[in-house]
Amino acid sequence: MKKYKILGIVVFLVLSVVGDVLAQARINSDNFTIQFPNFNSGAGIPSSSNYLLDSTLGQGAPGLFSSAGYRVKSGFQYIHSIIPFSFSVSDIQIAFGTLTPDTPSTDTSTLTVSAGGASGYSVTAAENNPLKTFTGGNTIADTTCDGADCDESTATVWSSASIYGFGYNMSGDDVPAGFTDGTYYKQFSDLSLAETPETVMSSVNVGSARSSTIKYKVNVSDVQPGGTYQNIITFVAVPGY
């Protein structure tokens, strides 16, 4: 009997953060230098058992200013984020084990994002290539779903055990609308074909511990050559400011 073993989908995580821009002039004379020429009537972090309030009173021109080449975040409220940006993947190696022809196999990871920036965040995903044997001689193609109509940008129903390939489904917070339910799947964008990574989570809102589940699925036919197959899925999480 042929054996198919998926050793793993290794996940790479990339965080891209836009740095702060400070726009405070320095005042100099022969006797002194004022680094931040601003005097406030009140500031601090009042607190109680129910809240923390970061406040600045009387500050000149606080706010977010932007143009085609820059963003200026002016004001002490921008010194630190209320919700620091973070991204995690619960399982960075997915192992399907030995596959049985015409019997789909699935596994899952949890993606968790916290983002305190004013423009939310986005997470994209892509594969380095379809599932391949170590030598690259055999490939499990990406699924095209039941109607041969899903690809890296469109999710459709994949429920038939006689439709083969590799794909993924998303559920939970901030996932693309195309994943109507647990039967809808997409292909991963294929970097070896220069396809653009697709968004798997995104929001324009501030949020803490936003969580989604990505379900990987693989199915092979009885003519699929036996072997050990693998590929790499890269997630890129980007905060917005």
Structure confidence by residue, pLDDT tens digits, 98-152: 999 999 999 999 999 999 887 899 999 999 999 999 888 899 999 999 999 999 9
Cα 42 to Cα 59, 112, 120: the distances in Å are: 9, 37, 29
Does residue 59 share a domain with residue 37?
Answer: yes
Do both 110 and 154 map to the same domain? yes
Contact in structure between 119 and 204 (CB atoms under 8 Å): yes
Are 52 and 128 within one domain? Answer: no
Domain contains 22: no
Whether 94 and 73 map to the same domain: the answer is: no
Q: How confident is the model at residue 19 (pLDDT cuts 50, 70, 90)?
A: very low
Per-residue pLDDT, 20: 47
Average confidence (pLDDT) over 192-203: 97
SS3 for the chain, per residue? CCCEEEEEEEEEEEECCCCCCCCCCCEECCCCEECCCCCCCEEECCECCCCECCEEECCCCCEEEECCCCEEEECHHHCCCCCCCEEEECCCECCCEEEECCECEEEEEEEEEEECCCCCEEEEEEECCCEEECCCCCEECECCCCCCCCCCCCCEECCCCCCCEEEEEEEECCCCCCCCCCCEEECCCEHHHCCCCEEEEEECCCEEEEEEEEEEEEECCCCCCCEEEEEEEEEEEEECC
Instruction: Decide the pairing of beta strands 4-15 and 227-239.
Output: parallel
Residue 227 is predicted with a pLDDT of 94
141 shares a domain with 96: yes
Point out the least confidently predicted range of 54-58, 68-72, 220-224.
Answer: 54-58
Same domain, 107 and 216: yes
pLDDT in tens, 146-197: 999 999 999 999 999 999 999 999 999 999 999 999 999 999 999 999 999 9
Is residue 89 located within the same domain as residue 74? no
Task: Tell whether 109 and 217 lie within a shared domain.
Answer: yes
74 and 167 part of one domain:
no
Do residues 168 and 108 both lie within one domain?
yes
How many domains does the chain fold into?
A: 2
**Same domain for 213 and 118:** yes
- Residues 45 and 118 occupy one common structural domain: no
The 10 Å CB-count burial string (b at 16+, else e) for 50-70 is eeeeeebeebeeeeeeeeeee
pTM > 0.85: yes or no: no
Does any domain span residue 219?
yes
Q: Is residue 129 part of a domain?
A: yes
What is the domain range of residue 45? 27-78
